[in-house]
């Protein structure tokens, strides 16, 4: 045998072995406990991958900003002249708009809302194109000082990293969802150096469910991302929080008042964002982002503190460096600038600005209480409570906000006042003003909604490969008597009928119906199987079931939706990649789905 033929034979052998290994892993990952070790390993890997992406994004923004401002500071926009600040915001808004205008509308979808949409409607498959667009336009927006945050883009980049890793390794879709959560946790962990808050944020805001199977890989992703971040940037968190005491229990009414005030601000922030979006959403994207740049630039002309991330301003608020009048101006200016910018479509985040608004609101309460002598706590204590409350009310994520507060302060004394402020703010926003998470409202504005019913939650955690019935054989519609007997000796439960001329739709025939028909023929004619006539499996008396195909990486939620769309009771399962697409792995029935949901 020539060397080339031997090499080709060896290559084919290795490929078949790899495909079998891959198929075995896909079946294992489709289940619950069986797939946990592999998911844990993938979670650890995704944490390093996604953490690296977020670090790269952070370095691009920081070095780009340092190159723009005269003093080289990453937030030194106040060192620019008023005219330069206005020009920078306008140039940034126009650059972002022109770049997005060149793209198709689907390629412009970025941010947390895009991640939620892809999770709910596309099984967590985030396109690489949108990820690259998010990296570029968010970098331009932040470097040009727009009143937005980097956490939203980080969530998109991290989620996309997890999604792309899962698809590269051909992980089933239920596993891809978990890897998206791993990427989100890694992003928040790297952005704030708060790994536990990253885990809770991923589970509460993005995946929106808590399971042991999901927690393990997500925790590992947050840990590995935080480890990578601390190796490069040290152990310090995003904000400088000195040790602080919580004060007396008599201050709880004041803290509750702070929570109520922040709840009102969160509702106003959401309402103004949606109002701006509804009024200007139909305008060309370049005109909207240009308008956002002009609007932000006009405010920054007089108040440069609203530009960029605002972390230095938050640190100043914690250190009580501002008077009451300036603090109130900061609250109003940042709320208006950010809500208008996001409503106009500026492709960046809202988490950082909500922390800024909450910090300023907390500082205002702290300064006022101190002026009247009604407070024994520091102003920084109220600032931290305001940050957590605004985050909780705007995102409707109280647990993530509380964990973030605890990690930020490293103090158990903030738990009771933190719970008071966070829950009060969340209740005021939801009950008094009827507002849920801003991400849900933005999804609704796009004609989308969370598909988060108990049935959907249960079904999307399970892959079809873990419940499929493997006792299936594929057969042409015409078969001789002897072939039918040989077929039944293999003891299949299902027979997939395929018309070689593609004139008839695929159907599934229960093997028991074929066996019963053969018995009837045997009763009527003992020599029937020696007849040259062929049996038409499409016409024999049997309960043939209409069917459609679904891939082995699909979840039970996808199978359920496919059954509803095709109006069938059973699906046959094919491979998802390459030559395996022609292979039939098994069938999944409506009974399989219902029993999995009941369990």
Interhelix angle for 481-489 vs 511-524, to 10°?
A: 130
- Domain end: 192, 212, 236, which one? 236
Tell me the DSSP string of 123-141: TT---HHHHHHHHHHHHHH
Say how far apart CA 326 and CA 416 lie, in whole Å.
29
**Residue 272 neighbours by CB distance under 10 Å:** 17
* CB-based contact 558:176 (threshold 8 Å): no
DSSP code at position 111: S
**Strand ranges across the sheet with 545-551:** 472-476, 494-498, 507-510, 545-551, 570-574, 584-589
> Which of 280, 283, 300 shows the shortest CA–CA distance to 100?
283
Say yes or no: 257 and 219 in one domain: no
**CA-CA distance, 223 to 554, in Å (whole number)?**
29
Helical (H) or strand (E) element with 582: none
Show the tokens assigned to 352. 């950082």
* 467 in a structural domain: yes
- Domain containing 201 — which CATH number? 1.10.3080.10
Q: Whole-angstrom distance between the N-terminal and C-terminal Cα of the chain?
A: 56
Q: Same domain for 170 and 68?
A: yes
Judged by DSSP in three states, 392 sits in: helix
Buried b (16+ CB within 10 A) or exposed e, 181-219: bbbbbbbbbbbbbbbbbbbbbbbbbbbbbeeebbbbbbb
d(CA 169, CA 171): 6
Residues 253 and 282 occupy one common structural domain: yes
Rounded distance, CA 493 to CA 472, Å? 6
Residue at 451 is within a domain: no
Range(s) of the domain holding residue 147:
18-236
* 232 located within any domain: yes
| CA 62 – CA 469 distance, rounded (Å) | 54
Same domain, residue pair 427 and 488: no
Report the C-alpha gap between 432 and 442 in whole angstroms: 20
Q: How far is C-alpha 459 from the geometric centre of its chain's CA atoms?
A: 18
Please state the domain count of the chain. Answer: 3
**173 within domain boundaries:** yes
- 175 and 42 part of one domain: yes
Pair (27, 164) in one structural domain: yes
- Whose structure tokens read 């359920």? 560
At residue 453, the pLDDT reads: 64
Do residues 195 and 271 share a domain?
Answer: no
Same domain, 50 and 153: yes
Instruction: Clarify whether residues 253 and 400 are in a common domain.
Output: yes
Does 9 map to a domain?
no
Do 253 and 193 reside in the same domain of the chain? Answer: no
The one-digit pLDDT tens for each residue of the chain (599 residues) are: 566 665 566 565 555 555 555 565 555 555 555 667 888 889 999 999 999 999 999 999 999 998 998 877 778 898 899 999 999 999 999 999 999 999 998 899 999 999 999 988 888 899 999 999 999 999 999 999 999 999 999 999 999 999 999 888 888 888 888 999 999 999 999 888 889 999 999 988 888 777 777 788 999 999 999 999 999 888 777 777 777 666 657 788 889 999 999 999 999 999 999 999 999 988 999 999 999 999 999 999 999 999 988 889 999 999 889 989 999 999 999 999 999 999 999 999 999 999 999 999 999 998 888 777 666 678 888 999 999 999 999 999 999 999 988 888 877 778 889 999 999 999 999 999 999 999 999 988 887 766 566 667 677 778 888 788 888 888 887 777 778 877 888 888 888 887 766 667 788 888 888 888 878 777 776 655 555 567 778 888 888 888 888 888 888 888 888 888 888 888 888 887 766 777 888 888 888 887 776 54
Residues 383 and 509 in one domain: no
How far is Cα 19 from Cα 244, in angstroms, rounded to an integer?
Answer: 58
Q: Strands 472-476 and 584-589: what pairing?
A: unpaired
Burial 338-359 (b: 16+ CB within 10 A, else e): bbbbbbbbbbbbbbbbbbbbbb
- Domain holding 505: CATH number? 3.10.580.10
d(CA 76, CA 362): 24
Instruction: Point out the domain boundary residue: 174, 201, 236.
Output: 236
188 assigned to some structural domain = yes
Question: pTM here?
Answer: 0.83
Q: Does residue 241 fall inside a structural domain?
A: no
Compute how many other C-beta atoms are within 10 angstroms of the C-beta atom of residue 382. 33
Residues 363 and 336 in one domain: yes
- Domain boundary among the residues 405, 421, 445 is at 445
Output the six-digit token pair for 200. Answer: 């809770």
Pick the closest to residue 142 from 232, 55, 58 (CA basis).
Answer: 58
In a domain, 33, yes or no: yes
């Amino acid at each position: 045998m020539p060397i080339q033929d031997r090499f080709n034979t060896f290559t084919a052998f290795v490929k078949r072995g790899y495909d079998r290994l891959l198929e075995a892993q896909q079946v294992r990952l489709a289940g619950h406990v069986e797939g946990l070790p592999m998911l844990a390993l993938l979670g650890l890997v995704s944490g390093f991958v996604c953490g690296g992406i977020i670090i790269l994004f952070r370095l691009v923004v920081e070095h780009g900003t340092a190159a723009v401002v005269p003093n080289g500071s990453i937030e030194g926009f106040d060192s620019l002249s008023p005219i330069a600040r206005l020009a920078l915001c306008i140039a940034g808004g126009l650059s972002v708009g022109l770049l997005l205008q060149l793209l198709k509308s689907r390629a412009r979808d970025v941010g947390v809302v895009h991640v939620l949409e892809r999770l709910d409607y596309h099984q967590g498959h985030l396109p690489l194109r949108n990820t690259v667009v998010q990296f570029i336009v968010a970098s331009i927006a932040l470097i040009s000082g727009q009143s937005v945050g980097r956490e939203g883009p980080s969530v998109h980049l991290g989620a996309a990293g997890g999604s792309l890793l899962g698809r590269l390794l051909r992980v089933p879709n239920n596993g891809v969802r978990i890897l998206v959560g791993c990427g989100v946790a890694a992003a928040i962990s790297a952005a704030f150096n708060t790994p536990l808050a990253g885990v809770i944020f991923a589970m509460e805001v993005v995946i929106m469910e808590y399971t042991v199977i999901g927690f393990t890989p997500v925790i590992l992703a947050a840990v590995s991302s935080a480890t990578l971040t601390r190796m490069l940037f040290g152990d310090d968190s995003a904000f400088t929080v000195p040790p602080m005491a919580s004060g007396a229990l008599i201050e709880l009414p004041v803290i509750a008042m702070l929570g109520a005030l922040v709840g009102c601000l969160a509702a106003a922030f959401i309402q103004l964002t949606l109002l701006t979006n509804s009024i200007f959403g139909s305008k060309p994207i370049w005109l909207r982002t240009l308008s956002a740049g002009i609007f932000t630039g006009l405010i920054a002309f007089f108040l440069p503190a609203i530009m960029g991330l605002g972390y230095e301003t938050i640190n100043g608020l914690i250190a009580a460096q501002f008077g009451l009048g300036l603090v109130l101006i900061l609250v109003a200016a940042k709320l208006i600038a950010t809500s208008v910018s996001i409503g106009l479509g500026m492709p960046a985040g809202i988490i950082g600005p909500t922390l800024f608004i909450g910090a300023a609101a907390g500082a205002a309460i702290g300064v006022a209480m101190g002026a009247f002598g009604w407070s024994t706590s520091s102003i920084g204590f109220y600032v931290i409570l305001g940050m957590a409350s605004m985050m909780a009310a705007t995102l409707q994520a109280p647990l993530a906000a509380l964990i973030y507060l605890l990690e930020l302060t490293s103090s158990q004394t903030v738990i009771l006042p933190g719970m008071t402020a966070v829950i009060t703010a969340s209740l005021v926003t939801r009950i008094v003003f009827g507002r849920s998470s801003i991400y849900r409202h933005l999804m609704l504005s796009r004609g989308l909604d969370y598909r988060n019913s108990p049935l959907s939650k249960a079904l999307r955690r399970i892959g079809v490969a873990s419940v499929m019935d493997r006792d299936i054989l594929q057969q042409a519609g015409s078969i001789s008597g002897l072939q039918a007997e040989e077929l039944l000796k293999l003891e299949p439960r299902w027979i997939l009928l395929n018309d070689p001329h593609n004139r008839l739709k695929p159907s599934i025939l229960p093997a028991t119906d074929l066996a019963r028909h053969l018995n009837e023929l045997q009763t009527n004619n003992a020599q029937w199987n020696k007849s040259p006539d062929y049996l038409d499996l499409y016409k024999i008396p049997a309960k043939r079931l209409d069917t459609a195909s679904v891939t082995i990486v699909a979840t039970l939620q996808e199978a359920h939706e496919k059954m509803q769309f095709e109006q069938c009771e059973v699906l046959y399962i094919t491979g998802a990649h390459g030559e395996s697409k022609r292979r039939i792995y098994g069938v999944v029935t409506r009974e399989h789905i219902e029993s999995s949901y009941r369990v």
